[in-house]
Amino acid sequence: MLPRPTSHSKALGPGVAGPELAVATSAVLDRPPQPGAHLPLTGAAPCAVDPTSLNDPRQHTKYPYVTGTSVLAVKYKDGVLIGCDTLGAYGSTKRYKSTQRLYRVNDKCVVAAGGEISDFQHISTLLDELTTDDYRIDDGIQLTPQQVYSYLCRVMYNRRNKFDPLWNSLVVGGVQPDGSQFLGMVGMIGTHYTDSHVTTGFANQLARPLFRERQSDNMSEEEALNLLYDAMRVCYYRDKVSINKFQVAKVSTAGGVSISEPFALDMRWDYKMFSNPTKWAVGAW
């Protein structure tokens, strides 16, 4: 028997056993673990997902390092246009200013990515393997954008289920065999949707309002390019981690895939009222 402490809470009154007198005995300490809300009823050890808890040297992706920012894409009359800048940022540093975030799968499909660049390179390798298989089979049939989209959905979702995601927001765009345009987005946790215009990252909030107002499935190429340029301009103005160097991929029913050379857009920095903004508020910004 363990000695029982004789002091007790005054609130309980004299000679009364209360919480302070409840001492853990061996009966309490040495019993097997009871099922609780967080433990299985069989009494087995809970499923450990974190490899570090199993003394496994492998690690799960916790944060991205070299990242790409937004991707913008619209459908137009003859196909789809996908635009993004060419920056691979390392945190807030503009480290790699000539990364191509657009990947040509075949002449009907392009995949673009925001997020971790190394994971995008891995995805490009996977798609390369699929395309090589297609080439070797040599039956004239190529992967359609819809098939690439479904494949990428499964890849992303399965990685998410292992708590080791590919840290990307992917945009799949192209032309289906029947001539209709295809445009879809797959996120890092497997979320996916198809629409007439898709955006990732900052462009979700900056470009989507412009697309919702001006995009239509039968717009001309010139209108679509102007819309894309306006949206990319706004994204450059308001996204800290972006540069004025863009590439646009065009997938059209007639012309196949063409990825443009990097180009810069005109920016307006000379509005009159920005010239001396604190004229009437000296000391403010």
Partner 1 sequence: MLEGKGMTLPKAWKTGTTIAGLIYKDGVVLGADTRSTSGSTVADKNCSKIHYITPNIYACGAGTAADLEHVTDMVSGQLALHRYATGRSARVITAMTMFKQHLFKYQGHVGAALVLGGYDINGPHLFTIYPHGSTDSLPFATMGSGSLNAMAMFEAYYKDDMSRTEAMELVARGIRSGVMNDLGSGSNVDLCVITKDGVEYLRNYEYLQAKTYTRQFPVKYPPGTATVLKQRILSLKDVEVTEGAPEEMDVS
Of 94 and 238, the one with the shorter C-beta distance to partner 1 is 238
Shortest Cβ distance from residue 267 to partner 1 (Å)?
10
According to the binding rule CB under 8 A, does residue 25 interact with partner 1?
no
Of 4 and 272, the one with the shorter C-beta distance to partner 1 is 272
- Which residues contact residue 164 at a Cβ distance below 8 angstroms, ignoring those fewer than 6 apart? 60, 61
Query: Which of residues 21, 130, 234, 265 is near partner 1 by CB under 8 A?
Result: 234
> What does the DSSP assignment read for 104-170?
EEETTEEEEEEEEHHHHHHHHHHHHHHHHHHHHHTSS----HHHHHHHHHHHHHHHHHTT----EEE
- The residues facing 109 across adjacent strands are 106, 174
Of 2 and 281, the one with the shorter C-beta distance to partner 1 is 281
According to the binding rule CB under 8 A, does residue 272 interact with partner 1?
yes
Shortest Cβ distance from residue 230 to partner 1 (Å)?
5
According to the binding rule CB under 8 A, does residue 193 interact with partner 1?
no
- Which residues contact residue 99 at a Cβ distance below 8 angstroms, ignoring those fewer than 6 apart? 68, 86, 87, 88, 117
Distances (CA, A) of 195 to 82, 85, 168, 179, 248: 13, 22, 19, 16, 19
Distance, CA of 101 to CA of 87 (rounded, Å):
8
Distance, CA of 167 to CA of 63 (rounded, Å):
8
According to the binding rule CB under 8 A, does residue 10 interact with partner 1?
no
Shortest Cβ distance from residue 273 to partner 1 (Å)?
3
Which residues are known to be catalytic? Answer: 61
User: What are the φ/ψ torsions at residue 192 (nearest 5 degrees)?
Assistant: -150, 150
According to the binding rule CB under 8 A, does residue 250 interact with partner 1?
no
Count of other CB atoms within 10 angstroms of residue 178:
7
Query: Which of residues 33, 35, 177, 277 is near partner 1 by CB under 8 A?
Result: 277
- Which residues contact residue 219 at a Cβ distance below 8 angstroms, ignoring those fewer than 6 apart? 74, 76, 77, 227
Distance, CA of 105 to CA of 127 (rounded, Å):
7
Query: Which of residues 9, 205, 220, 258 is near partner 1 by CB under 8 A?
Result: 205
Count of residues that interact with partner 1, criterion CB under 8 A: 26
Of 10 and 279, the one with the shorter C-beta distance to partner 1 is 279
According to the binding rule CB under 8 A, does residue 202 interact with partner 1?
yes
Query: Which of residues 7, 31, 139, 271 is near partner 1 by CB under 8 A?
Result: 271
Identify which range of 2-10, 18-26, 231-239, 253-261 contacts partner 1 by CB under 8 A: 231-239
Q: Which residues, numbered 206-225, are part of the site for partner 1 (CB under 8 A)?
A: 206-210, 212-213
Shortest Cβ distance from residue 87 to partner 1 (Å)?
19
Can you give the binding site for partner 1, defined by CB under 8 A? 202, 205-210, 212-213, 230-231, 233-234, 237-238, 271-274, 277-281, 284-285
